[in-house]
Every structure is written in C-alpha cells, then in structure tokens.
Structure 1
Amino acid sequence: MSDSKELGVLEEEQVRSSSIRFFARDLGSHQTRGLKSFAGCLGRSPLVLLFLAFMLLAVLLVTIVVQVSKLPSSLGQEQSKQEKMYQELTQLKAAVDHLCRPCPWDWTFFQGNCYFFSYSQRNWHDSITACRDVGAQLVVVKGEEEQNFLQLQSSRRKRFSWIGMSDLTHEGTWQWVDGSPLPPSLTKHWNSGEPNNIGEEDCVEIFSQGWNDHRCDIAKFWICKRSAASYSSEEVCFPSSAPAAPTQSAE
C-alpha cells in the first residue's frame, strides 16, 4: 500500500515535470518566432518607407505636371480674349469715326481746329460778327502749314476770302483781330507788290497766291476758325450722314 502511493506520487511528479518542460519549450518557441517576426518587420521597414516616399514624390510630380500643362492653355485663352477685345475696340473706333466728325458738317477740320468757309459774302467788319455769332473768330494764321492749308482751300473754292488781319489801328502796322502783331516770318505771304494801300486798303483777303490788302467795306467771302476742343461734350459727335444746312448767322 505504501509502495503504491509512493509510485503514484512519483508518476505525478514526472508528469508535472514533463508538462513544465513542454510548456517552457513551447513558450520559448513562440517567443523565438515572435522575435524573428518582429526582426523581419524591422528589416523591411526602410523599404516600406522608401516605397511610400517614392509614391508621395510621384503624386507630387504628377500634380506639378498637370498644373504646368494647364498654364499655356490659360495664357493662350487670356491672350485670345485680349486680342478679341482689341479687335472689337478697333471696329468700334472705326464705326465711330465713320459716324462722327470732330467739327460740324459744314466746317473743315485741320490740325485740331475747325474752319468755316462762308457761302455768301460780307464786308470785313460783318465777317468778324458772323464768326463771333458761331463762337469762332475771323481766322488768325499761326504758321506756315496753316497758311498753306488756307491757300489750298481758297484755290479749290476759287474764292477771295477775308482773314482776321488789318492795319486799321495804325496805318502800315498789320495785326490780327486777337491783337497779336503779324510775325515777320509770315510777311512773305503777301502777293507781289502788296500791300499797296490803294484807296484806303486796310483789311486783308486771302486767295490761291497769297494775301492782298483791300477796302474793308467790300463784300467778300470769309473764313472762321474755332478750336475743335472748344466744342462741349454734347457737340463732340457730329453725324456725317448728311450735311447740315448753313445757318443764317454763319453766312
């Protein structure tokens, strides 16, 4: 009986010892595999990070390429819009130029001024009044180009016309209606032998060849001058579809 108990205790201890060894071996085996797995992950981490970095760089490059590819298209569209606007403005300006004039229809534009060549005749003093009635002045010649323009217009119209010069204030001293003296540089425009003051010729007319002094009470055509910029904003655009009939005050 005593021997049986001792045998049973011995077997139980052997089983327990065997179980403990098996558990310890199994635990060691699991720990070893875990460590190896963890070490493997650590070994692969740089490759994973490198792959992720590569993917991020690729996405960034693709984004940049897409944006850059859109840039020429946007610039082209903007340039196309600007060209279209310029063409429209050019067409509009041409239309306005066709419909409008810087001066009334019965006036002639030259170098920023409007000139009226009368259709009827008056004496020199009444010609001054006629020009004043339309906000202008009996023409005062300021330079060579203007003088050439007036002579050309007089030649085309085949008219002798009053200009705003006389020696009524002092005989032999020629001055313009605005009070300014006749510049020496313009005295060459007197016709040959003029001024000769035959029969109290104190006022000046212009024709195709130049100037001539004549009696102020003789009726002649006349020329008015007004700055184109002097017209108010409401008068800037004068229709060019049909000429306006000359007013009585301008004749």
Structure 2
Amino acid sequence: MAGEPEFHQPKNHEEEVTSGEQGFAEHDPEGLVCSSKSLQGHLTQVPWLLLLLISLGLFLLMLATLVQVSRIRAYSQGQTQDQQGSSSLDKVAVPREQTHSGLEQIQQIQQQLTQFNASLAGLCRPCPWDWELFQGSCYLFSRTLGSWETSASSCEDLGAHLVIVNSVSEQQFLKYWHIRKNQLTWIGLSDHRSEGSWQWVDDTPLKLSFWKEGEPNNEGDEDCVVMAEDKWNDSRCTANNFWVCEQPSAPCPGY
C-alpha cells in the first residue's frame, strides 16, 4: 500500500560479513587489515609453532645437559688419573726413601765400626803379655836359666828367636833391661859352626858389635855370646844364663 513502509528481508550473516570484509578491503587497499577467515587460520597455526619451539628448546637443554655431564665425567676421570699417578709416584718414592734409610744405616754402621776400631786400637797390645815392645819388635826377658841351645829352642817354641841386635838404640834398650836383671843374658850370636865366624841365629853375619875390651877371646872353648852389663862377652854355650827372645810386633786394627 501506498504510504506503508517497506520491510526488507535481512541478509544472512555470511553476506553481512562478506560485505563488511569488502568494505574494509575498500578502505584497506594494502591489505593491512586481515579478514576473519585469515585470522582464524593464523590462530590455528600458533599451537604447532609453539610446540615446535618448545621441542627445540627441550632438545637444546638436553644437549647442553649431555655436554655438561660429559665434561663432568672427563674431569672426574682426569682427577682419578692424577690420583693414580700421584699414588704411583708415592709408590716409586717409597723405595727411594727406603734406599736413603738404608744408606743412613750403612753410614751409621761404618761410624760404629770406626769407633770400634779406635777402641780396639786403644786397647791393642801388639805384643803378647809379658813381652816388651820396642821399635816394631817384641822382647821376652826370661825368668829362668838355661843353656844357649835350650834358650834358642825355647824362643823357637814361642815363634820367636834369640835376640838379634841391629842398632845402637836396640843395644841401649837391652842394656836397660840387663841393668834391671843384673844377670848375664844370652843373645842370638855364636861361632859354634865355624870358629871366629860369628853369625846370628838367622844365619846373617855379624856387622855391628859391642864387644867388651879383650873379647871375644875363646877362652875355654867359648862359642856363644852373653850380654854383660852394656858389653858382649863370649862364653861356653853349656852355661846356664837368662835369655831374651825377639819377634815382630802384631799390627793393631786400623794401622
């Protein structure tokens, strides 16, 4: 009817949206404004990207953890090797300490032996008991009497011989003991093998002599020599007199 308002049928929702989008498109010629369909598509893609990023992050975290664990293991193995090396060095050092200790013990033993030798030297007797030492020889002055032959045999039984006088000093030494004894004393000189050829008991000829004036005179077949005071005299070998034995002295330890 004339004058009645016209009622238009409303368009469906899709048509409104389309027209709206066309309107926005007309006002947004460069496409800066997204349509609702494109927005919905982007929204549906966001969770997959997020999951991908999370997975990538977890992978990197696990990789970093593995690297750190490998470093820790390598460090632990290095310390173990160092400890083993130090322990092996300690094991090697033990024999050196033992060797050093052994050397110290050897040095101590050597020092003790040196002190012991010094003590022995202080206590050393180069001559047997009852023998007298003089210039490297030991002398025994008898306390009994005997013939020249008996005296010579007695000295030989002791590993010695009747005294042989080789120097003035030795003669003075015998003189000192002769004064103390104040007796005639046999020495190892005789000519019983050949008259007038005086020889010592070791078969060496006489060179140095200390005869008393007028001696030897061979009075009464005197073939053996005695010491009278500080001089010599020939006498019968069967007479009984004291005697003097002589032998080399023994070296003391360390000499």
- Normalising to structure 2: TM-score of the pair? 0.53
Structure 2 gap segments, 5+ residues each: 1-40, 251-255
* Structure 1 Cα separation of the partners of residues 113 and 202 of structure 2: 47
Post-superposition offset of 1:169:
2.4
Q: Where does residue 242 of structure 2 map in the other structure?
A: 221
Structure 1 gap segments, 5+ residues each: 1-12, 230-251
Between the two proteins, the alignment pairs up a number of residues equal to: 203
Partners of 1:136 and 1:224 within 8 A in 2: no
Q: Where does residue 53 of structure 2 map in the other structure?
A: 25
Cα offsets for 1:40-88 (capped at 9, x unmatched): 778x78x959x959x769968x969x97xx78x9466665565456556
Distance 1:152 1:88, change over 3 A: same
Post-superposition offset of 1:197:
0.7
For the residue of structure 2 that corresponds to 1:25, the secondary structure is: helix
What percent of counterpart residues are identical? Answer: 29
For the residue of structure 2 that corresponds to 1:171, the secondary structure is: coil
Match of 1:176 among 179, 200, 222: 200
Question: For residues 41-190 of structure 1, what are the structure 2 equivalents within 5 Å?
Answer: 52=79, 74=101, 79-80=107-108, 83-84=111-112, 87=115, 93=120, 97=124, 102-103=127-128, 105-108=129-132, 115-131=139-155, 134-135=157-158, 139-141=162-164, 143-144=166-167, 146-182=170-206, 184=207, 186=208, 189-190=209-210
Q: Where does residue 13 of structure 2 map in the other structure?
A: none
Partners of 1:191 and 1:212 within 8 A in 2: yes
Give the structure with the larger helix fraction.
Answer: 1
Post-superposition offset of 1:203:
1.7
Q: Which has the higher contact order (CA 8 A, sep 6+)?
A: 1
Partners of 1:168 and 1:202 within 8 A in 2: yes
For the residue of structure 1 that corresponds to 2:59, the secondary structure is: helix
C-alpha RMSD over aligned residues: 5.1
Cα offsets for 1:70-117 (capped at 9, x unmatched): 78x9466665565456556665x47975xx8853x4444556765432
Instruction: State the structure with more CA Rg.
Output: 2
Partners of 1:191 and 1:209 within 8 A in 2: no
Amino acid at match of 1:195: E
- Normalising to structure 1: TM-score of the pair? 0.53
Cα offsets for 1:172-220 (capped at 9, x unmatched): 21012343322x2x2xx31353533152432211244242223334432
Distance 1:194 1:116, change over 3 A: farther
Match of 1:197 among 217, 220, 226: 217
